[in-house]
Amino acid sequence: MRRTTTLFKMVAAVALMGLFLSACGQTATKASTGGKLAVGVVLPTKDEPRWIQDQARFNDAFTAAGYDVTILFSQGSSATEKLNVEALISKGVKVLIICPQDASAAAAAADEARAANIKVVSYDRLIRDTASVDYYVTFDSFAVGAAWSTYMIQQAGSTTGNNLYLYAGAASDNNAFIFFEGAWETIQPKIADGTFVIKNSSEAVAVKDLPKLTRDQEAKIIGQITTNWDFATAKKLAQDNLTAAAAADKGTVYIIAPNDGTARAIADAFGADKDVTKYFISGQDAEVASLQYIIDGKQSMTVLKDVRTLVADAIAAAQAYLQGQTPPQTTTYNNGKIDVPAKPSAIVTVTTANFYSAVIKSGYWPTSYFSHLDTVGDYAP
Ligand code: BGC
């Protein structure tokens, strides 16, 4: 489940991918399908900015390549997801790019696609408990969790006894486990040495001396601290944690929040508590609203996972399959049944210190989306 790759291998793979793309070109497929690439995309929900980002970036990439693409949303329902997959099967797609709503529930849909001789590319989230997954297009999710903890460790410096609050994604999402694993394995030595004290999970406190956890141990902790990737759930959980905490458990707090939407909800709850004097909070996805929170000092960091890269990798994988080839592999992820080949992409921590270069100069979001941009540390228009 963990990445085993090195940065060098990843850089080499990215370079190879570039060569591969220019060598194979896209015309053969385009000509043979009359502008319709035999690929369908299924995304989990329109209700989170993250997946709207993916939709937009897929549309941009497919349009630039001169193809039409069908992108269907499952709206948080595995049943809808299965119907979407069946619709794409009847449409005659040859490659299915699917981000599962629920890792295990999606196995049946993947099996159906496999039975119809369709290549299944698991996109961003791994489909679990089935052999019917051909490839996994992903970011280095262990590194995402590690980035949260690294940030908190840097902020805490040499102080001790710091209040730590942990939050996680949905237990039905395999990524929630990998993010947590990366966070735990990075921060656990700093819990063991007294730098941090966990305040909101008895299950985490019970295993605080263990540098690595089993999936079952992680599941128990995630069961206590899950946001279910839902903003309202996240806010309510944070409020409940604050209600249960003594004033001494507040003051300056360090909060591992699993993504930007939940980070804003949790930050709002902590920010409203009169006993919280200062908080540090993580996130991920580089959502515009959270980047503005970072400029405004209401969120500390986010992790930019460049969706343009993921989309390019997914399309390249589809094209490889359509041309009878195999997409590049630098590692594998075990999905409970098989080791799925993958080529995870690098992630970038964003704070006010590198905001301008990471977000604006990289072309990820335009200047016009933000106010007070001139206050970021590396502002250089
Ligand atoms: C994705 C995150 C996203 C979360 C909630 C995860 O699987 O990797 O980018 O924020 O799901 O949708």
Render pLDDT for 362-371 as a digit per residue (tens, 0 to 9): 999 999 999 9
Predicted local distance difference test score (pLDDT) of residue 65: 84
163 and 130, same structural domain?
A: no
The amino acid sitting at 168 is A
For residue 373, tell me if it sits in a domain.
no
- What percentage of the chain reaches a pLDDT higher than 70? 91
Choice from 128, 142, 167, 175 to test ligand 1 binding pocket (greatest atom count within 8 A of CB): 175
Q: Give the three-state DSSP class for 131.
A: coil
230 within ligand 1 shell (Cβ under 6 A): no
35 and 135, same structural domain?
A: yes
Question: Residues 59-106: pLDDT tens digits?
Answer: 999 888 888 889 999 999 999 999 999 999 999 999 999 999 999 999
Does the pLDDT at position 209 exceed 90?
yes
Predicted local distance difference test score (pLDDT) of residue 35: 60
Mean pLDDT along residues 281-305: 98
Looking at the CA of residue 125, tell me the nearest atom of ligand 1. 7
pTM of the model: 0.91
For residue 369, tell me if it sits in a domain.
no
For residue 89, tell me if it sits in a domain.
yes
Does the pLDDT at position 13 exceed 60?
no
Calculate how far, in angstroms, residue 259's C-alpha sits from the geometric centre of ligand 1.
7
Looking at the CA of residue 45, tell me the nearest atom of ligand 1. 12
277 and 164, same structural domain?
A: yes
173 and 77, same structural domain?
A: no
76 and 174, same structural domain?
A: no
For residue 329, tell me if it sits in a domain.
yes
Looking at the CA of residue 260, tell me the nearest atom of ligand 1. 10
Confidence of residue 262 (pLDDT cuts 50, 70, 90): very high
Question: Residues 16-64: pLDDT tens digits?
Answer: 333 333 333 333 344 344 466 799 999 999 999 999 999 999 999 988 8
For residue 379, tell me if it sits in a domain.
no
Query: Which H, E and C letters describe 203-228, residue by residue?
Result: HHHHCCCCCCCCHHHHHHHHHHHECC
Rounded to 5 degrees, φ, ψ at 35 are 85, 0
Buried b (16+ CB within 10 A) or exposed e, 172-192: bbbbbbbbbbbbbbbbbebbe
Confidence of residue 235 (pLDDT cuts 50, 70, 90): very high
Q: Yes or no: say if 328 and 16 are a contact pair by the CB < 8 Å rule.
A: yes
The domain that holds 298 is classified in CATH as: 3.40.50.2300
272 and 175, same structural domain?
A: yes
177 and 80, same structural domain?
A: no
Predicted local distance difference test score (pLDDT) of residue 227: 98
Question: Residues 182-191: pLDDT tens digits?
Answer: 999 999 999 9
For residue 355, tell me if it sits in a domain.
no
Confidence of residue 309 (pLDDT cuts 50, 70, 90): very high
Strands (E), the chain: 36-43, 68-73, 95-98, 119-123, 135-137, 162-166, 196-198, 251-256, 276-281, 302-304, 331-334, 339-342, 348-350
Q: Which residues contact 18 (CB under 8 A, 6 or more apart)?
A: none
Residue 236's closest CA among 269, 261, 200?
A: 269
299 and 154, same structural domain?
A: yes
145 and 117, same structural domain?
A: no
Choice from 173, 181, 299, 333 to test ligand 1 binding pocket (greatest atom count within 8 A of CB): 173
293 and 162, same structural domain?
A: yes
Question: Residues 147-193: pLDDT tens digits?
Answer: 999 999 999 999 999 999 999 999 999 999 999 999 999 999 999 99
Q: Yes or no: say if 239 and 269 are a contact pair by the CB < 8 Å rule.
A: yes
70 and 106, same structural domain?
A: yes
Confidence of residue 273 (pLDDT cuts 50, 70, 90): very high
249 within ligand 1 shell (Cβ under 6 A): no
For residue 260, tell me if it sits in a domain.
yes
- Using CA atoms, how far apart are residues 345 and 105, in angstroms rounded to an integer? 26
H/E segment holding residue 177:
helix 174-192
Bridge partners for 97 per DSSP: 41, 121
5 within ligand 1 shell (Cβ under 6 A): no
For residue 324, tell me if it sits in a domain.
yes
Nearest CA to ligand 1 atom 6: 175
Number of domains composing the chain: 2
Domain containing 242 equals 141-304
**What integer best gives the mean pLDDT of the chain?**
92
Choice from 126, 230, 259 to test ligand 1 binding pocket (greatest atom count within 8 A of CB): 259
* Alpha-carbon Rg for the chain in angstroms: 21
Predicted local distance difference test score (pLDDT) of residue 21: 35
Neighbouring C-beta atoms of residue 151, cutoff 10 Å: 21
Does the pLDDT at position 7 exceed 70?
no
Choice from 46, 124, 127, 138 to test ligand 1 binding pocket (greatest atom count within 8 A of CB): 124
Q: Yes or no: say if 120 and 347 are a contact pair by the CB < 8 Å rule.
A: no
Calculate how far, in angstroms, residue 203's C-alpha sits from the geometric centre of ligand 1.
24
Predicted local distance difference test score (pLDDT) of residue 67: 82
- Using CA atoms, how far apart are residues 40 and 128, in angstroms rounded to an integer? 20
Predicted local distance difference test score (pLDDT) of residue 66: 83
Domain boundary (278, 304, 330) is at 304
319 and 256, same structural domain?
A: no
